[in-house]
Structure 1
């Protein structure tokens, strides 16, 4: 007999330190115990169902307990679960690296465990490249205002979310911030493209005075997630690529959240027709099954580390680098994309529900309605402190799991969600707005 929700809730509070959480809040706000997953749904120990509107922190692509990924992992477990990648190799990591290289136009995948570790790897690689070329002064990094790239110390140094970074400021490197191209910040009458180009001007101004000391510019392509799904025009990326070339600064594309189809193309950079110097991948790479991240870079950058001198090599590592099980899950994810024409299916789904989203966002309390691929977002006006928590609770009571960011409500569901289920979420949100939730 399964224990009820209350038992698991109490045990979790006693034993688990939950992430991104002030634990004292759970004296009033219940932790949600989950017993199992079924496609786009999560089910608690008492049988209540919740549509996973945030893909379990943006990682789940093809639903919970996906039979194809399950089968691939069982097969891999019966063959090889893991082997040290220093001096050894195995089939899944080789095949995944080959496929990621073909898809990104970059090469030599270097593996980590999560998004923050991918950021750390890319930052270290960029600095080390310049050092190996005798340009020791290029130690600085640039990121966008309101950017988020992870919560380890290097990643926090290029993150501009004070809630996460302010406490640790004495431990962080001093880095540069430039204007965000988030179109919500445009002047009246200024369109998204014009604002993106104006934001790029601030990047050029920084490069003109500091390029000799800069290693890399790191950017979340097309959508700054933790900034409240801050979306922007591809013209910014196109100009940033040209500026990085001109001023000899690496371009790091943090596609951790937006990669693997979230923005409507497999990688967001495709919509600006650019190739970065580094691309950071994680979250959806294994379909939400296992921790894995990868950083791919150019052959030129790889060649700078290829030498007889060990100290010129990139010696970053961790015990589970290139884990065979995680790589096998990622390979199955890529195969599902191919077999099911996922990107085309997602575009059709978004088109089908567009009228319903438009109806929701016509509500007088909604502003800045936006949609990009399989991401829907809008801002709510006239909210009070604590709105995000109240919306979370109210939506959960109606069977929808959402995690608003301040006054921004967004939906980033697994790709297996149906048009009918999306309409259900939009109707739920419309009802909550009509009821005056603030």
Structure 2
């Protein structure tokens, strides 16, 4: 293990990490995975309580996903999607269209790529429609959509954004419907509608230069699992239609069952103009993202002129191995009736976390689908790192966001696994030094 740690310090630049910190708190040296568990090079097991950055749905080394990838390896590992096609990408596109109500899937490699694709596609649509001035974007305060230049422009988290501000486009952020921010006595629904009024006030003045409104539906992840009422999405859809602005739903973190439905926007009974997908799409196996849109948007690019087409590409667009992994994930959802099973499991797990929710240090305990979160009152600087290390000591891999502790486990997590997690969280909360 020590050799692997020294080698990673010398050769690897880790994401979202101050590398100097690895001198005091080295990363886990992972050798393998088993279901919801990670196993280090010394044989110690850690419950993957955050699904390896929210990507793992059905556990590490899932035999069904493994088998699909192995089968695909014997056929074709990759072929460029410009000028060629293949069965896995066509089959996946067809299935995603049936699930989302949108079609014409365009593929990238990660969530930020999906955001870039949707933003560019929206502005290009308006240009093709003779309204090139409609090239601005609106997003929610405290929202996160990725860290490439376009995606970071619509992100609103200073830690990620401030350093790169000179590189970014100016965009507009409107009030977030995060229910924690409601006034005393105000319901989550009432607050969401009040925030939607602020969106309308902006669109009244600026719709003529606005291409799209991009939103994380129901849960804003990187800001600390901020949850809000579905009425906001319903109202946003009405406003975007009224003022002729595209609605982009960023389902990168919350898609594929995380919020209790296959996609979060379903809970508002709407259809967006674009949907961005990634993370869980391959069950945590291979990098893949997709953007799906409407027939109207697709038709605006269809013609004889090359410049009218959507000129965007990634070398590994529609990679067959990744598409086969995604198809295996969708097979598991269907065969195991995962959405229905998760609703039962979510209720059980919420009960197992009842003592955590009642702890005197806990504020705003919240849950939606297979996501749980709470804020810790009067958390001192360094709280996140201290809790992370303390939980590792008890065999749980968890990474708080500031003073927010969240749980987003693989769907194969058992009640016994959850009891271990609940006991670990309680022990950490009871420790006044954390």
TM bucket normalised to smaller: over 0.9
Counterparts of residues 173-252 of structure 1 (less than 5 Å): 173-252=169-248
> Could you tell me how far apart the structure 1 residues matched to 2:275 and 2:412 are?
26
Shift of 1:437: 3.9
Shift of 1:422: 1.0
Structure 1 vs Structure 2 CA RMSD: 0.6
> Could you tell me how far apart the structure 2 residues matched to 1:59 and 1:182 are?
23
Runs of 4 or more above 3 Å deviation:
none
Q: Does residue 130 of structure 1 match 2:126?
A: yes
Counterparts of residues 10-409 of structure 1 (less than 5 Å): 10-409=6-405
> Could you tell me how far apart the structure 2 residues matched to 1:435 and 1:153 are?
41
Which residue of 418, 421, 425 maps to 1:422? 418
Shift of 1:6: 1.1
> Could you tell me how far apart the structure 2 residues matched to 1:281 and 1:264 are?
16
SS of the residue corresponding to residue 32 of structure 1 reads coil
> Could you tell me how far apart the structure 2 residues matched to 1:382 and 1:248 are?
44
Shift of 1:435: 2.1
> Could you tell me how far apart the structure 1 residues matched to 2:420 and 2:24 are?
28
The alignment's TM-score, normalised by the length of structure 1, stands at 0.98
> Could you tell me how far apart the structure 2 residues matched to 1:256 and 1:6 are?
35
SS of the residue corresponding to residue 15 of structure 2 reads coil
Shift of 1:74: 0.3
SS of the residue corresponding to residue 363 of structure 1 reads coil
> Could you tell me how far apart the structure 1 residues matched to 2:393 and 2:6 are?
20
Shift of 1:117: 0.2
Question: Alpha-carbon deviations, 1:394-436, whole Å to 9, x = none?
Answer: 0011000001000000000110000121121011111111122
> Could you tell me how far apart the structure 2 residues matched to 1:348 and 1:436 are?
34
Q: Is the 8 A contact 1:285 1:330 kept in 2?
A: yes
Question: Any gaps of 5 or more consecutive residues in structure 2?
Answer: none
Shift of 1:354: 2.3
SS of the residue corresponding to residue 81 of structure 2 reads coil
Q: Is the 8 A contact 1:52 1:400 kept in 2?
A: yes
Shift of 1:341: 0.6
> Could you tell me how far apart the structure 2 residues matched to 1:171 and 1:178 are?
21
Question: Any gaps of 5 or more consecutive residues in structure 1?
Answer: none
Q: Is the 8 A contact 1:90 1:324 kept in 2?
A: yes
Shift of 1:254: 0.2
